[in-house]
Amino acid sequence: MKLTLFLVFFSSFISFAQPLQNFNKERTQIDKHLMIGLGSWATSNFVVSGIGWATVPKSEAYYFHQMNVLWNTVNLGLAIPGYFKAKNDNRTLSLNETKKIQRKTQNIFLLNTGLDVVYISSGFLLRNSAQSNLSERDRFNGFGNALILQGGFLFIFDLTAYAIHKCHANKFLNPLEISPNGLGFTWKIVNEPTYKNHRFL
């Protein structure tokens, strides 16, 4: 009897462990694609605004390009390490470790959307301040427009990243239920093209 229970337990564990490993591989793949997207945006801004900053006279456009270059230097500094971190993440994680990392990832992107609103609001405040500060009008308008642009992009980026990760988690991590017979747990595991139920015990 004990041997039978052990074999059932072991076979159920194996059938669950592989989909969990696949989930984590997909999660890191999502992060890689997101960092490529952020890096591509930063690079394109860096090139276009770098040329603009070097060629236009000091004006609203000059400060707009200047802020874009400075801002996307930071974006590149986040995207490149983030990409290699995701690429080299080959850890074998337990269910609890996976859920912890998943929650942390989603919370980071959700928190960032709030910061992005602050960036956009700061841009509008700078533009508003320019109306009463003629000596700094070009600088405030240029910086303000850049903050609105960059904050708007990051808001869409972070909200999209949160939605992608949450949708991915909903397919595997969230449907953790008590088995109807009370013997263990039931996981809904994604298998193409349909879902299959795997019982732990």
User: Taking residues 4-32, what's their average pLDDT?
Assistant: 68
* pLDDT number for residue 174: 66
User: Taking residues 146-164, what's their average pLDDT?
Assistant: 97
Q: What is the mean pLDDT of the chain?
A: 83
Tell me: pLDDT of 15 over 60: no
Q: What is the β-pairing status of strands 185-190 and 176-178?
A: antiparallel
* pLDDT number for residue 92: 87
d(CA 152, CA 157): 9
Write the burial class of residue 27 (CB in 10 Å: 0-12 exposed, 13-18 middle, 19+ buried).
buried
Tell me which residue of 93, 97, 81, 71 sits closest to 31, measured CA to CA: 81
* pLDDT number for residue 194: 38
* Strands of the 195-199 sheet, one edge to the other: 176-178, 185-190, 195-199
User: Taking residues 80-88, what's their average pLDDT?
Assistant: 94
Bigger pLDDT: 75 vs 179? 75
* pLDDT number for residue 31: 96
Tell me: pLDDT of 6 over 70: no
Tell me which residue of 35, 42, 71 sits closest to 158, measured CA to CA: 35
* pLDDT number for residue 60: 96
Task: Provide the β-strand partners of residue 112.
Answer: none
Tell me: pLDDT of 176 over 90: no
User: Taking residues 25-42, what's their average pLDDT?
Assistant: 96
pTM of the model: 0.79
User: Taking residues 86-112, what's their average pLDDT?
Assistant: 92
User: Taking residues 69-93, what's their average pLDDT?
Assistant: 93
